């Protein structure tokens, strides 16, 4: 079976390629020309093109039996039109390509589809895949576009397509350009911030564990549409302070814990970002992970292969080995 992967040079997509190739699966990657070498190093056959181009999809999806659509715009500096073109129109083209090829479509969605603000409460809360969607603020282009994209996947399933939407929370790991580099910069200072009590479990998951869920979703029987949370690493879970400390330990940094009151953390984040982003970031850091992923474990047979401690070690080693001199 050949599987087509989009976003193959990115965080989730690159781990998906590695997971599939480790099982001997033939992988084709639809990538922009600049990323061709990156996916070929991972063992995929590159098809240069853009996910907004119907012709590129037709060429890339020919004869495949599975499509993993991981390509997406996540940075907030892009225009709404760009989010629509890549995250929404790109997904529509993915559904058309899957229908033409008769392939199962695994769409990498996000817990951002639930909307709301301050989504991570300090008290344990359980949110399942059928929890109601809440309003999304107009300025949150990412969440709005991901909700629209998932709606297209659901609609395509109504036409007979076999589709799965995986909803990770914050993803970290090798080749991450957003969350992980920031953690490593702080850890290199020898500082382990403890924001609030520090006993909560962060709402994040290792990209290698997300990739394992993708493989399970491709292989599981079923038709129509089904959504799954992919939101935790293998046990034991790490608390906020243990997670930050694990990064420092993997770097060999001598550390000191610095307690930071929640109010001060919000002020600092507000200076560095917008007020809305500051509230969201603060709730993420001090809140519990509310997204239960029991459904993926029971229905897909997904078992995350990596503990958080192992994942942090793998991540830090990659960044140390691959970072540019002088950084």
32 close to 58: Cβ distance less than 8 angstroms: no
Report the pLDDT value the prediction gives residue 194, as an integer from 0 to 100: 82
- In a 3-state reduction of DSSP, which class is residue 191? strand
**Domain assignment of residue 316, yes or no:** no
Report the pLDDT value the prediction gives residue 72, as an integer from 0 to 100: 97
6 close to 51: Cβ distance less than 8 angstroms: yes
Taking the alpha carbons of 304, 305, 310, 313 in that order, is the dihedral positive or negative?
negative
Instruction: Tell me the C-alpha distance between 137 and 143, whole Å.
Output: 9
In the predicted structure, residue 66 carries a pLDDT above the cut 90 = yes
Distances (CA, A) of 86 to 104, 291, 304: 20, 26, 29
Report the pLDDT value the prediction gives residue 127, as an integer from 0 to 100: 87
User: Which residues span the domain enclosing 150?
Assistant: 2-176+203-233+289-307
Instruction: Tell me the C-alpha distance between 168 and 163, whole Å.
Output: 16
Residue-wise pLDDT tens digits, 190-248: 877 788 888 899 889 999 999 999 999 999 988 899 999 999 999 999 999 899 899 99
Residue-wise pLDDT tens digits, 118-139: 455 555 568 899 999 999 999 8
Compare 246 and 259 and report the one with higher pLDDT.
246
Reading phi first (left if > 0) and then psi (alpha if -120 to 50, else beta), residue 116 is in: left
Instruction: Tell me the C-alpha distance between 15 and 236, whole Å.
Output: 22
Report the pLDDT value the prediction gives residue 196, as an integer from 0 to 100: 81
Report the pLDDT value the prediction gives residue 121, as an integer from 0 to 100: 52
Instruction: Tell me the C-alpha distance between 224 and 228, whole Å.
Output: 13
How does the average pLDDT of the chain come out, rounded? 89
Average pLDDT over residues 243-265: 82
**Domain assignment of residue 250, yes or no:** no
Which residues lie closer than 8 Å to 88 by C-beta, 6 or more apart? 145, 148, 149, 152
**Domain assignment of residue 193, yes or no:** no
Compare 97 and 284 and report the one with higher pLDDT.
97
**Domain assignment of residue 282, yes or no:** no
Compare 289 and 92 and report the one with higher pLDDT.
92
In the predicted structure, residue 79 carries a pLDDT above the cut 50 = yes
Percent of the chain surpassing pLDDT 70: 89
Q: Is the pTM of this model over 0.85?
A: yes
In the predicted structure, residue 34 carries a pLDDT above the cut 70 = yes
**Domain assignment of residue 59, yes or no:** yes
Across 118-270, the runs of DSSP E, i.e. the strands, are 163-168, 170-172, 191-195, 204-206, 225-230, 256-260
Report the domain count for the chain.
Answer: 1
Instruction: Tell me the C-alpha distance between 243 and 180, whole Å.
Output: 12
Report the pLDDT value the prediction gives residue 180, as an integer from 0 to 100: 93
CATH of the domain at 117: 3.40.50.720
Compare 25 and 276 and report the one with higher pLDDT.
25
276: closest CA among 53, 117, 165?
117
**Domain assignment of residue 27, yes or no:** yes
Percent of the chain surpassing pLDDT 90: 69
pLDDT-derived band at 327 (thresholds 50, 70, 90) equals very low
Average pLDDT over residues 249-268: 76
Report the pLDDT value the prediction gives residue 63, as an integer from 0 to 100: 96
Report the pLDDT value the prediction gives residue 123, as an integer from 0 to 100: 52
**Domain assignment of residue 266, yes or no:** no
70: closest CA among 39, 33, 26?
39
**Domain assignment of residue 75, yes or no:** yes
122: closest CA among 290, 288, 292?
288
Instruction: Tell me the C-alpha distance between 247 and 267, whole Å.
Output: 25
Report the pLDDT value the prediction gives residue 268, as an integer from 0 to 100: 55
Instruction: Tell me the C-alpha distance between 32 and 47, whole Å.
Output: 8
191: closest CA among 230, 146, 143, 241?
241
Task: Please state which of the ranges 159-168, 252-261, 285-294 shows the lowest mean pLDDT.
Answer: 252-261
């Amino acid at each position: 079976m050949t599987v087509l992967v989009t976003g193959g040079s990115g965080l989730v997509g690159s781990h998906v390629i590695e997971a599939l190739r480790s099982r001997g699966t033939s992988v084709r990657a639809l990538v922009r020309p600049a990323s061709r070498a990156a996916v070929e190093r991972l063992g995929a056959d590159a098809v240069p093109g853009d996910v907004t181009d119907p012709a590129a999809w037709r060429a890339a999806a020919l004869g495949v039996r599975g499509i993993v659509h991981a390509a997406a715009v996540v940075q907030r500096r892009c225009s709404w039109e760009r989010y629509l073109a890549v995250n929404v129109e790109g997904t529509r083209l993915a559904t058309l390509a899957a229908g033409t090829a008769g392939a199962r479509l695994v769409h990498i969605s996000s817990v951002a589809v639930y909307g709301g603000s301050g989504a991570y409460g300090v008290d344990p809360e359980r949110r399942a895949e059928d929890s109601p969607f809440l309003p999304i603020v107009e300025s949150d282009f990412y969440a709005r576009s991901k909700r629209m994209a998932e709606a297209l996947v659901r609609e395509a399933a109504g036409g007979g397509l076999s589709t799965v939407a995986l909803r990770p929370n914050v993803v970290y790991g090798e080749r991450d350009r957003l969350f992980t580099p920031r953690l490593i910069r702080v850890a290199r200072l020898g500082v382990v911030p403890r924001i609030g009590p520090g006993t909560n479990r962060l709402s994040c998951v290792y990209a290698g564990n997300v990739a394992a869920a993708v493989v399970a979703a491709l292989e599981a029987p079923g038709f129509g549409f089904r959504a799954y949370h992919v939101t935790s690493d293998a046990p034991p879970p790490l608390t906020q302070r243990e997670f930050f400390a694990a990064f420092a330990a993997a770097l060999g940094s001598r550390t000191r814990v610095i307690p930071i009151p929640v109010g001060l953390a919000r002020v600092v984040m507000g200076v560095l970002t917008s007020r809305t982003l500051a509230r969201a970031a603060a709730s993420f850091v001090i809140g519990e992970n509310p997204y239960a992923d029991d459904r993926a474990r029971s229905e897909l047979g997904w078992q995350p292969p990596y503990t958080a401690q192992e994942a942090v070690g793998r991540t830090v080693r990659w960044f140390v080995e691959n970072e540019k001199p002088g950084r």
